[in-house]
Amino acid sequence: MSNYKAPMAIHPGETLREVLETYNMSRAKLAIRMRLHPVVIDDILSGKDPISPEIARSLSLVFLMSEDFWNNLQKNYEERMGD
């Protein structure tokens, strides 16, 4: 197990923004696919809200990515912010 810590904390919403761009998907379309209010997506993208385990599960289904990927992004962010 690595003890590496990123030099700065990057909110998982930044990664989600990049994934949306890669998939050419709008925030509104993601909200519809996840059955969430668009404000929830906006709050994650702006760094106001975390990616909860439930949202990580939904993101994994929408983007066919590991649920652990999203959960680990959030965990690493929280750990880094706690420094």
Q: 20-38: buried (b, 16+ CB within 10 Å) or exposed (e) per residue?
A: beeeeeebeebbeebeeee
21 within domain boundaries: yes
What's the pLDDT band for 82 if we cut at 50, 70, 90? confident
pLDDT of 3 higher than 90:
no
Read off the pLDDT of residues 31-58 as tens digits, 9 standing for 90 and up: 999 999 999 999 999 999 999 999 999 9
2 within domain boundaries: no
Looking at this protein, which amino acid is placed at residue 79? E
Phi, psi of 14 (to 5 degrees): -65, -45
What per-residue confidence (pLDDT) applies to 2?
58
- Give me the CATH number covering residue 30: 1.10.260.40
Say how many domains are in the chain: 1
34 within domain boundaries: yes
What residue numbers bound the domain in which 23 lies? Answer: 12-81
